[in-house]
Protein backbone atom coordinates (compact mmCIF):
# COMPACT_ATOMS: atom_id res chain seq x y z
CA UNK A 1 0.00 0.00 0.00
CA UNK A 2 2.80 2.43 0.91
CA UNK A 3 4.71 1.63 -2.30
CA UNK A 4 1.56 2.12 -4.34
CA UNK A 5 0.76 5.41 -2.60
CA UNK A 6 4.31 6.67 -3.12
CA UNK A 7 4.46 5.70 -6.80
CA UNK A 8 1.16 7.41 -7.56
CA UNK A 9 1.97 10.52 -5.51
CA UNK A 10 5.27 11.27 -7.24
CA UNK A 11 3.58 10.72 -10.59
CA UNK A 12 0.81 13.19 -9.82
CA UNK A 13 3.06 15.74 -8.14
CA UNK A 14 5.88 15.90 -10.68
CA UNK A 15 4.95 13.74 -13.69
CA UNK A 16 7.78 11.46 -12.53
CA UNK A 17 6.69 8.58 -14.78
CA UNK A 18 6.46 10.86 -17.85
CA UNK A 19 2.90 9.78 -18.53
CA UNK A 20 2.08 13.23 -19.95
CA UNK A 21 3.92 15.79 -22.01
CA UNK A 22 5.77 17.96 -19.47
CA UNK A 23 4.57 21.32 -20.81
CA UNK A 24 0.99 20.08 -20.83
CA UNK A 25 1.42 18.79 -17.28
CA UNK A 26 2.93 22.07 -16.04
CA UNK A 27 0.15 24.28 -17.39
CA UNK A 28 -2.84 21.94 -17.43
CA UNK A 29 -6.01 23.72 -16.28
CA UNK A 30 -4.01 26.49 -14.59
CA UNK A 31 -6.86 28.84 -15.55
CA UNK A 32 -9.37 26.81 -13.52
CA UNK A 33 -6.85 26.39 -10.70
CA UNK A 34 -6.31 30.15 -10.67
CA UNK A 35 -9.85 30.49 -9.29
CA UNK A 36 -8.60 28.78 -6.14
CA UNK A 37 -5.40 30.85 -6.07
CA UNK A 38 -7.40 34.05 -6.51
CA UNK A 39 -9.59 33.04 -3.58
CA UNK A 40 -6.47 32.44 -1.45
CA UNK A 41 -5.21 35.92 -2.33
CA UNK A 42 -8.59 37.39 -1.41
CA UNK A 43 -8.68 35.48 1.90
CA UNK A 44 -5.28 36.89 2.88
CA UNK A 45 -6.34 40.45 2.11
CA UNK A 46 -9.86 40.29 3.57
CA UNK A 47 -11.27 37.05 5.04
CA UNK A 48 -12.15 33.47 4.12
CA UNK A 49 -15.83 34.43 3.90
CA UNK A 50 -15.33 37.50 1.70
CA UNK A 51 -17.42 37.57 -1.49
CA UNK A 52 -19.63 34.81 -0.09
CA UNK A 53 -16.66 32.48 0.23
CA UNK A 54 -16.84 31.91 -3.53
CA UNK A 55 -13.93 31.17 -5.83
CA UNK A 56 -12.78 33.92 -8.16
CA UNK A 57 -10.03 36.04 -9.66
CA UNK A 58 -8.56 39.50 -9.35
CA UNK A 59 -8.41 41.41 -12.63
CA UNK A 60 -5.86 44.02 -13.58
CA UNK A 61 -5.93 44.30 -17.35
CA UNK A 62 -3.76 47.41 -17.31
CA UNK A 63 -0.65 45.52 -16.22
CA UNK A 64 -1.14 41.90 -17.28
CA UNK A 65 -3.09 40.09 -19.99
CA UNK A 66 -3.44 36.61 -18.53
CA UNK A 67 -5.85 36.73 -15.59
CA UNK A 68 -4.97 33.17 -14.63
CA UNK A 69 -1.25 33.77 -14.27
CA UNK A 70 -2.00 37.05 -12.48
CA UNK A 71 -3.53 35.11 -9.54
CA UNK A 72 -0.30 33.15 -9.03
CA UNK A 73 1.72 36.36 -9.12
CA UNK A 74 -0.53 37.99 -6.51
CA UNK A 75 -0.50 35.02 -4.18
CA UNK A 76 3.18 34.08 -4.45
CA UNK A 77 4.46 37.64 -4.14
CA UNK A 78 1.81 38.98 -1.75
CA UNK A 79 1.30 41.78 -4.26
CA UNK A 80 -1.05 44.66 -3.57
CA UNK A 81 -4.47 44.60 -5.21
CA UNK A 82 -7.41 46.89 -5.79
CA UNK A 83 -10.17 45.52 -3.56
CA UNK A 84 -13.04 46.14 -5.96
CA UNK A 85 -11.67 44.18 -8.94
CA UNK A 86 -12.32 40.67 -7.63
CA UNK A 87 -14.86 38.73 -9.70
CA UNK A 88 -16.48 35.64 -8.27
CA UNK A 89 -16.92 32.26 -9.95
CA UNK A 90 -20.53 31.41 -9.21
CA UNK A 91 -20.86 27.72 -10.05
CA UNK A 92 -19.18 26.03 -7.10
CA UNK A 93 -19.19 26.20 -3.28
CA UNK A 94 -15.38 26.28 -3.27
CA UNK A 95 -14.65 23.86 -0.46
CA UNK A 96 -11.16 23.14 -1.74
CA UNK A 97 -10.21 26.84 -1.56
CA UNK A 98 -11.84 27.15 1.86
CA UNK A 99 -9.67 24.27 3.14
CA UNK A 100 -6.50 25.66 1.60
CA UNK A 101 -7.28 29.12 3.00
CA UNK A 102 -7.41 27.67 6.53
CA UNK A 103 -4.11 25.84 5.96
CA UNK A 104 -2.66 29.02 4.50
CA UNK A 105 -3.69 30.95 7.62
CA UNK A 106 -1.98 28.54 10.04
CA UNK A 107 1.05 27.79 7.86
CA UNK A 108 4.42 29.22 8.95
CA UNK A 109 5.80 28.92 5.41
CA UNK A 110 5.94 31.38 2.52
CA UNK A 111 3.16 31.40 -0.03
CA UNK A 112 5.49 29.89 -2.63
CA UNK A 113 6.08 26.91 -0.35
CA UNK A 114 2.42 26.79 0.66
CA UNK A 115 1.47 26.35 -2.98
CA UNK A 116 3.87 23.40 -3.25
CA UNK A 117 2.40 21.91 -0.07
CA UNK A 118 -1.16 22.25 -1.41
CA UNK A 119 -0.10 20.56 -4.65
CA UNK A 120 1.55 17.75 -2.70
CA UNK A 121 -1.47 17.33 -0.45
CA UNK A 122 -3.80 17.11 -3.46
CA UNK A 123 -1.45 14.58 -5.10
CA UNK A 124 -1.41 12.46 -1.93
CA UNK A 125 -5.21 12.51 -1.64
CA UNK A 126 -5.66 11.50 -5.29
CA UNK A 127 -3.07 8.75 -4.84
CA UNK A 128 -4.75 7.60 -1.62
CA UNK A 129 -8.20 7.16 -3.13
CA UNK A 130 -6.84 5.35 -6.18
CA UNK A 131 -4.73 3.19 -3.86
CA UNK A 132 -7.87 2.21 -1.98
CA UNK A 133 -9.36 0.98 -5.26
CA UNK A 134 -6.17 -0.95 -5.98
CA UNK A 135 -6.24 -2.39 -2.46
CA UNK A 136 -9.74 -3.63 -3.16
CA UNK A 137 -8.48 -5.29 -6.36
CA UNK A 138 -5.65 -6.85 -4.35
CA UNK A 139 -7.99 -8.30 -1.72
CA UNK A 140 -10.85 -9.36 -3.99
CA UNK A 141 -9.47 -10.03 -7.47
CA UNK A 142 -5.76 -10.77 -7.04
CA UNK A 143 -2.33 -9.26 -6.54
CA UNK A 144 -1.45 -9.58 -10.23
CA UNK A 145 -4.54 -7.64 -11.26
CA UNK A 146 -3.78 -4.90 -8.73
CA UNK A 147 -0.18 -4.49 -9.91
CA UNK A 148 -1.17 -4.52 -13.60
CA UNK A 149 -3.84 -1.86 -12.97
CA UNK A 150 -1.39 0.25 -10.96
CA UNK A 151 1.11 0.25 -13.84
CA UNK A 152 -1.50 1.36 -16.38
CA UNK A 153 -2.75 4.10 -14.04
CA UNK A 154 0.82 5.36 -13.61
CA UNK A 155 1.07 5.79 -17.39
CA UNK A 156 -2.43 7.22 -17.93
CA UNK A 157 -1.90 10.80 -18.98
CA UNK A 158 -5.32 12.18 -18.05
CA UNK A 159 -5.19 10.97 -14.46
CA UNK A 160 -1.63 12.32 -14.20
CA UNK A 161 -2.45 15.86 -15.34
CA UNK A 162 -5.54 16.05 -13.15
CA UNK A 163 -3.82 14.48 -10.14
CA UNK A 164 -2.49 17.63 -8.44
CA UNK A 165 -4.86 20.29 -9.75
CA UNK A 166 -6.15 22.35 -6.84
CA UNK A 167 -9.42 23.26 -8.51
CA UNK A 168 -10.48 19.81 -9.69
CA UNK A 169 -9.58 17.87 -6.52
CA UNK A 170 -9.81 14.67 -8.54
CA UNK A 171 -9.82 12.55 -5.38
CA UNK A 172 -13.21 13.97 -4.38
CA UNK A 173 -14.95 12.35 -7.36
CA UNK A 174 -14.06 8.92 -5.96
CA UNK A 175 -15.38 9.52 -2.42
CA UNK A 176 -18.90 8.12 -3.08
CA UNK A 177 -17.53 5.19 -5.11
CA UNK A 178 -15.00 4.28 -2.41
CA UNK A 179 -17.70 4.64 0.24
CA UNK A 180 -20.08 2.12 -1.30
CA UNK A 181 -17.21 -0.16 -2.30
CA UNK A 182 -15.98 -0.20 1.30
CA UNK A 183 -19.25 -0.57 3.18
CA UNK A 184 -20.50 -3.50 1.10
CA UNK A 185 -17.09 -5.14 1.23
CA UNK A 186 -17.14 -4.86 5.02
CA UNK A 187 -20.65 -6.27 5.07
CA UNK A 188 -19.39 -9.51 3.53
CA UNK A 189 -16.24 -9.63 5.67
CA UNK A 190 -18.14 -9.13 8.92
CA UNK A 191 -21.13 -11.18 7.75
CA UNK A 192 -23.41 -8.51 9.14
CA UNK A 193 -26.21 -6.90 7.13
CA UNK A 194 -26.00 -3.14 6.74
CA UNK A 195 -29.00 -1.12 7.86
CA UNK A 196 -30.68 1.17 5.35
CA UNK A 197 -30.07 4.05 7.77
CA UNK A 198 -26.29 3.46 7.57
CA UNK A 199 -26.42 3.53 3.77
CA UNK A 200 -28.45 6.77 3.82
CA UNK A 201 -26.02 8.53 6.16
CA UNK A 202 -22.75 7.39 4.55
CA UNK A 203 -23.87 8.00 0.96
CA UNK A 204 -25.30 11.41 1.92
CA UNK A 205 -22.00 12.46 3.52
CA UNK A 206 -19.89 11.12 0.65
CA UNK A 207 -21.92 12.91 -2.04
CA UNK A 208 -22.00 16.14 -0.04
CA UNK A 209 -18.19 16.03 0.38
CA UNK A 210 -17.83 15.54 -3.36
CA UNK A 211 -20.07 18.56 -4.02
CA UNK A 212 -18.30 20.62 -1.36
CA UNK A 213 -14.85 20.04 -2.88
CA UNK A 214 -15.61 19.89 -6.61
CA UNK A 215 -19.13 21.18 -7.04
CA UNK A 216 -21.49 19.70 -9.63
CA UNK A 217 -18.70 18.88 -12.05
CA UNK A 218 -19.45 15.47 -13.64
CA UNK A 219 -22.19 14.89 -11.08
CA UNK A 220 -24.12 12.30 -13.12
CA UNK A 221 -20.88 10.42 -13.65
CA UNK A 222 -20.21 10.45 -9.91
CA UNK A 223 -23.73 9.31 -9.01
CA UNK A 224 -23.69 6.37 -11.42
CA UNK A 225 -20.19 5.51 -10.25
CA UNK A 226 -21.35 5.20 -6.64
CA UNK A 227 -23.92 2.49 -7.47
CA UNK A 228 -21.46 0.29 -9.38
CA UNK A 229 -20.28 -1.53 -6.21
CA UNK A 230 -23.94 -2.17 -5.33
CA UNK A 231 -24.41 -4.17 -8.52
CA UNK A 232 -21.09 -5.97 -8.04
CA UNK A 233 -21.97 -7.18 -4.55
CA UNK A 234 -25.55 -7.94 -5.55
CA UNK A 235 -24.07 -10.39 -8.07
CA UNK A 236 -21.43 -11.81 -5.72
CA UNK A 237 -23.70 -12.20 -2.68
CA UNK A 238 -26.89 -13.20 -4.54
CA UNK A 239 -29.02 -10.38 -3.18
CA UNK A 240 -32.75 -10.63 -3.53
CA UNK A 241 -34.28 -8.14 -5.94
CA UNK A 242 -36.01 -6.36 -3.05
CA UNK A 243 -32.67 -5.77 -1.27
CA UNK A 244 -31.05 -4.48 -4.46
CA UNK A 245 -33.95 -2.11 -5.10
CA UNK A 246 -34.01 -0.78 -1.52
CA UNK A 247 -30.27 -0.10 -1.52
CA UNK A 248 -30.31 1.67 -4.87
CA UNK A 249 -33.29 3.70 -3.65
CA UNK A 250 -31.44 4.61 -0.44
CA UNK A 251 -28.35 5.66 -2.40
CA UNK A 252 -30.47 7.71 -4.82
CA UNK A 253 -32.54 9.52 -2.19
CA UNK A 254 -29.52 10.36 -0.02
CA UNK A 255 -27.60 11.58 -3.08
CA UNK A 256 -30.46 13.88 -4.08
CA UNK A 257 -30.64 15.21 -0.52
CA UNK A 258 -26.90 15.97 -0.56
CA UNK A 259 -27.22 17.76 -3.91
CA UNK A 260 -30.17 19.84 -2.65
CA UNK A 261 -28.14 20.85 0.40
CA UNK A 262 -25.20 21.80 -1.83
CA UNK A 263 -27.43 23.91 -4.09
CA UNK A 264 -28.90 25.62 -1.04
CA UNK A 265 -25.46 26.52 0.33
CA UNK A 266 -24.36 27.80 -3.09
CA UNK A 267 -27.54 29.87 -3.37
CA UNK A 268 -26.86 31.45 0.01
CA UNK A 269 -23.33 32.28 -1.13
CA UNK A 270 -24.65 33.76 -4.36
CA UNK A 271 -27.23 35.81 -2.45
CA UNK A 272 -24.37 37.70 -0.75
CA UNK A 273 -22.98 38.83 -4.11
CA UNK A 274 -26.18 39.02 -6.20
CA UNK A 275 -28.57 40.37 -3.59
CA UNK A 276 -31.09 37.53 -3.20
CA UNK A 277 -31.39 33.75 -3.17
CA UNK A 278 -33.82 33.97 -6.09
CA UNK A 279 -31.05 35.40 -8.25
CA UNK A 280 -28.78 32.66 -6.94
CA UNK A 281 -31.22 29.94 -8.03
CA UNK A 282 -31.64 31.65 -11.41
CA UNK A 283 -27.88 31.56 -11.94
CA UNK A 284 -27.76 27.86 -11.07
CA UNK A 285 -30.57 27.16 -13.56
CA UNK A 286 -28.84 29.26 -16.22
CA UNK A 287 -25.60 27.33 -15.70
CA UNK A 288 -27.45 23.99 -15.88
CA UNK A 289 -29.20 24.81 -19.16
CA UNK A 290 -25.97 26.18 -20.66
CA UNK A 291 -24.35 22.77 -20.19
CA UNK A 292 -27.20 20.70 -21.64
CA UNK A 293 -29.68 21.35 -24.48
CA UNK A 294 -30.97 24.90 -23.90
CA UNK A 295 -32.43 27.45 -26.29
CA UNK A 296 -29.44 28.64 -28.33
CA UNK A 297 -31.02 32.08 -28.91
CA UNK A 298 -30.36 33.00 -25.28
CA UNK A 299 -26.62 32.39 -25.37
CA UNK A 300 -23.40 33.44 -27.07
CA UNK A 301 -22.27 32.09 -30.46
CA UNK A 302 -19.91 29.47 -28.96
CA UNK A 303 -22.71 28.19 -26.69
CA UNK A 304 -25.08 28.11 -29.67
CA UNK A 305 -22.53 26.02 -31.52
CA UNK A 306 -22.46 23.50 -28.66
CA UNK A 307 -26.28 23.25 -28.66
CA UNK A 308 -26.36 22.69 -32.42
CA UNK A 309 -23.66 20.02 -32.41
CA UNK A 310 -24.57 16.39 -33.08
CA UNK A 311 -24.28 13.91 -30.23
CA UNK A 312 -22.43 11.45 -32.50
CA UNK A 313 -19.85 14.15 -33.25
CA UNK A 314 -19.33 14.86 -29.55
CA UNK A 315 -19.06 11.18 -28.64
CA UNK A 316 -16.53 10.58 -31.43
CA UNK A 317 -14.28 13.29 -30.00
CA UNK A 318 -14.09 11.40 -26.71
CA UNK A 319 -13.54 8.02 -28.34
CA UNK A 320 -10.62 9.46 -30.31
CA UNK A 321 -8.90 10.89 -27.24
CA UNK A 322 -5.56 9.42 -26.17
CA UNK A 323 -5.67 7.27 -23.03
CA UNK A 324 -1.99 6.30 -22.85
CA UNK A 325 0.84 7.87 -24.85
CA UNK A 326 4.00 5.79 -24.55
CA UNK A 327 5.82 8.33 -26.74
CA UNK A 328 6.16 10.52 -23.65
CA UNK A 329 8.03 7.71 -21.94
CA UNK A 330 10.04 6.11 -24.74
CA UNK A 331 10.74 8.93 -27.20
CA UNK A 332 11.45 12.67 -27.21
CA UNK A 333 8.32 13.39 -29.25
CA UNK A 334 4.74 12.81 -28.16
CA UNK A 335 3.35 13.18 -31.70
CA UNK A 336 3.89 9.68 -33.09
CA UNK A 337 0.67 7.71 -33.53
CA UNK A 338 2.45 4.37 -33.21
CA UNK A 339 2.75 4.29 -29.42
CA UNK A 340 -0.60 5.83 -28.55
CA UNK A 341 -3.62 3.98 -27.21
CA UNK A 342 -6.83 5.87 -27.89
CA UNK A 343 -9.98 5.32 -25.87
CA UNK A 344 -11.77 3.56 -28.72
CA UNK A 345 -8.82 1.17 -28.99
CA UNK A 346 -8.84 0.66 -25.24
CA UNK A 347 -12.55 -0.13 -25.36
CA UNK A 348 -11.92 -2.72 -28.09
CA UNK A 349 -9.21 -4.30 -25.93
CA UNK A 350 -11.59 -4.45 -22.97
CA UNK A 351 -14.23 -6.07 -25.20
CA UNK A 352 -11.78 -8.75 -26.37
CA UNK A 353 -10.49 -9.52 -22.89
CA UNK A 354 -14.03 -9.51 -21.48
CA UNK A 355 -15.09 -12.12 -24.03
CA UNK A 356 -11.98 -14.19 -23.30
CA UNK A 357 -12.65 -13.95 -19.56
CA UNK A 358 -16.26 -15.12 -19.97
CA UNK A 359 -15.14 -18.02 -22.19
CA UNK A 360 -12.49 -19.08 -19.70
CA UNK A 361 -15.05 -18.94 -16.88
CA UNK A 362 -17.53 -21.05 -18.82
CA UNK A 363 -15.28 -23.73 -20.30
CA UNK A 364 -12.28 -23.77 -17.97
CA UNK A 365 -13.95 -22.96 -14.68
CA UNK A 366 -12.24 -25.89 -12.95
CA UNK A 367 -8.92 -24.04 -13.25
CA UNK A 368 -10.36 -20.78 -11.83
CA UNK A 369 -10.88 -20.38 -8.09
CA UNK A 370 -13.91 -18.05 -8.26
CA UNK A 371 -15.60 -17.67 -11.64
CA UNK A 372 -18.39 -15.62 -10.05
CA UNK A 373 -15.97 -12.78 -9.26
CA UNK A 374 -14.63 -12.83 -12.81
CA UNK A 375 -18.11 -12.56 -14.30
CA UNK A 376 -19.13 -9.89 -11.77
CA UNK A 377 -16.02 -7.80 -12.50
CA UNK A 378 -16.60 -7.93 -16.25
CA UNK A 379 -20.33 -7.18 -15.92
CA UNK A 380 -19.87 -4.21 -13.60
CA UNK A 381 -17.04 -2.89 -15.77
CA UNK A 382 -19.42 -2.61 -18.70
CA UNK A 383 -22.18 -1.25 -16.51
CA UNK A 384 -19.77 1.49 -15.40
CA UNK A 385 -19.41 2.82 -18.96
CA UNK A 386 -22.79 4.48 -18.34
CA UNK A 387 -21.04 6.85 -15.90
CA UNK A 388 -18.94 8.78 -18.46
CA UNK A 389 -21.59 8.41 -21.17
CA UNK A 390 -24.21 9.99 -18.91
CA UNK A 391 -22.35 13.30 -18.81
CA UNK A 392 -21.41 13.24 -22.50
CA UNK A 393 -25.05 12.64 -23.47
CA UNK A 394 -26.97 14.67 -20.87
CA UNK A 395 -24.48 17.55 -20.78
CA UNK A 396 -23.73 17.61 -24.48
CA UNK A 397 -23.16 21.36 -24.49
CA UNK A 398 -20.44 21.13 -21.86
CA UNK A 399 -18.92 18.04 -23.46
CA UNK A 400 -18.71 19.73 -26.86
CA UNK A 401 -16.79 22.70 -25.46
CA UNK A 402 -14.49 20.92 -23.00
CA UNK A 403 -12.74 18.17 -24.93
CA UNK A 404 -9.48 19.51 -23.46
CA UNK A 405 -10.41 18.03 -20.08
CA UNK A 406 -13.54 15.84 -20.05
CA UNK A 407 -11.66 12.68 -21.09
CA UNK A 408 -10.95 12.16 -17.40
CA UNK A 409 -14.52 10.83 -17.10
CA UNK A 410 -13.46 7.57 -18.77
CA UNK A 411 -11.62 6.83 -15.51
CA UNK A 412 -14.76 7.19 -13.42
CA UNK A 413 -14.40 4.26 -13.10
CA UNK A 414 -14.78 2.49 -16.48
CA UNK A 415 -11.15 2.59 -17.67
CA UNK A 416 -9.83 1.64 -14.22
CA UNK A 417 -12.16 -1.36 -14.10
CA UNK A 418 -11.22 -2.07 -17.71
CA UNK A 419 -7.54 -2.16 -16.78
CA UNK A 420 -8.45 -4.62 -14.02
CA UNK A 421 -10.40 -6.81 -16.45
CA UNK A 422 -7.46 -6.95 -18.87
CA UNK A 423 -4.98 -7.72 -16.10
CA UNK A 424 -7.24 -10.29 -14.47
CA UNK A 425 -7.94 -12.15 -17.71
CA UNK A 426 -4.23 -12.21 -18.62
CA UNK A 427 -3.46 -13.91 -15.32
CA UNK A 428 -6.46 -16.23 -15.66
CA UNK A 429 -5.35 -17.28 -19.14
CA UNK A 430 -1.81 -17.91 -17.89
CA UNK A 431 -3.17 -19.99 -15.04
CA UNK A 432 -5.40 -22.05 -17.33
CA UNK A 433 -2.53 -22.70 -19.74
CA UNK A 434 -0.17 -23.64 -16.91
CA UNK A 435 -2.75 -25.89 -15.23
CA UNK A 436 -3.64 -27.55 -18.54
CA UNK A 437 -0.07 -28.43 -19.51
CA UNK A 438 0.66 -29.47 -15.96
CA UNK A 439 -1.78 -32.37 -16.42
CA UNK A 440 -0.04 -33.58 -19.59
CA UNK A 441 2.72 -36.20 -19.41
CA UNK A 442 5.98 -34.41 -20.36
CA UNK A 443 7.34 -37.59 -22.05
CA UNK A 444 4.25 -37.67 -24.24
CA UNK A 445 4.84 -34.09 -25.35
CA UNK A 446 8.47 -34.87 -26.26
CA UNK A 447 7.38 -37.97 -28.22
CA UNK A 448 4.71 -36.07 -30.18
CA UNK A 449 7.14 -33.23 -30.91
CA UNK A 450 9.79 -35.53 -32.39
CA UNK A 451 7.19 -37.49 -34.30
CA UNK A 452 5.99 -34.34 -36.10
CA UNK A 453 9.46 -33.16 -37.09
CA UNK A 454 9.91 -33.36 -40.86
CA UNK A 455 13.37 -34.78 -41.34
pLDDT tens profile 382-413: 999 999 999 999 988 888 888 999 999 999 99
pLDDT grade for 269, boundaries at 50, 70 and 90: very high
> Model confidence over 151-165: pLDDT tens digits?
999 999 999 999 999
* Helix/strand/coil (H/E/C) assignment for every residue in the chain: CHHHHHHHHHHHHHCCCCCCCHHHHHHCCHHHHHHHHHHHHHHHHCCCCHHHHCEEEECCCCCCCCHHHHHHHHHHHCCCCCHHHEEEECCCCCHHHHHHHHHHHHCCCCHHHHHHHHHHHHHHHHHHHHHHHHHHHHHHCCHHHHHHHHHHHHCCHHHHHHCCCCCCCHHHHHHHHHHHHHHHHHHHHHCCCCCHHHHHHHHHHHHHHHHHHHCCCCHHHHHHHHHHHHHHHHHHCCCCHHHHHHHHHHHHHHHHHHHHHHHHHHHHHHHHHHCCHHHHHHHHHHHHHHCCCCCHHHCCHHHHHHHHCCHHHHHHHHHCCEEEECHHHHCCCCCCCCCEEEHHHHHHHHHHHHHHHHHHHHHCHHHCCCHHHHHHHHHHHHHCCHHHHHHHHHCHHHHHHCCCCHHHHHHCCHHHHHHHHHHHHHHHHHHHHHHHHHCCCHHHHHHHHHHCCCC
**Mean pLDDT on 262-288:** 79
Predicted structure pTM score: 0.90
The lowest-confidence range among 12-16, 45-49, 168-172 is: 45-49
pLDDT, tens digit, for every residue of 85-142?
889 999 999 999 999 999 999 999 999 999 999 999 999 999 999 999 999 999 999 9
Per residue in 200-244, pLDDT (tens digit) is 999 999 999 999 999 999 999 999 999 999 999 999 999 999 999
Q: Tell whether the model's pLDDT for residue 343 goes beyond 80.
A: yes
Determine the pLDDT at residue 84. Answer: 58
Amino acid sequence: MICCLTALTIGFYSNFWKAANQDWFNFFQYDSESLVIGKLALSERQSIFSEGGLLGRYYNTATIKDAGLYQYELYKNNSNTIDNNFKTYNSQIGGQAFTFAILDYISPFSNVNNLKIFKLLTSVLTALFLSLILLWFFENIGVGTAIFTLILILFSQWITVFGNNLYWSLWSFYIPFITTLTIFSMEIKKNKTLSIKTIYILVFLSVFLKCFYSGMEYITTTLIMLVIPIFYYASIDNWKLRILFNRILAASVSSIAAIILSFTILSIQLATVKGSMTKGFKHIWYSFIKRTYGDSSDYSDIIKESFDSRLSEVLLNYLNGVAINFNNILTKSSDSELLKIEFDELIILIVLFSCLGLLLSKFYGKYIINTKKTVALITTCWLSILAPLSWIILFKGHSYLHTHMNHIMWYMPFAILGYAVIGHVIFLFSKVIFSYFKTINPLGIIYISFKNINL
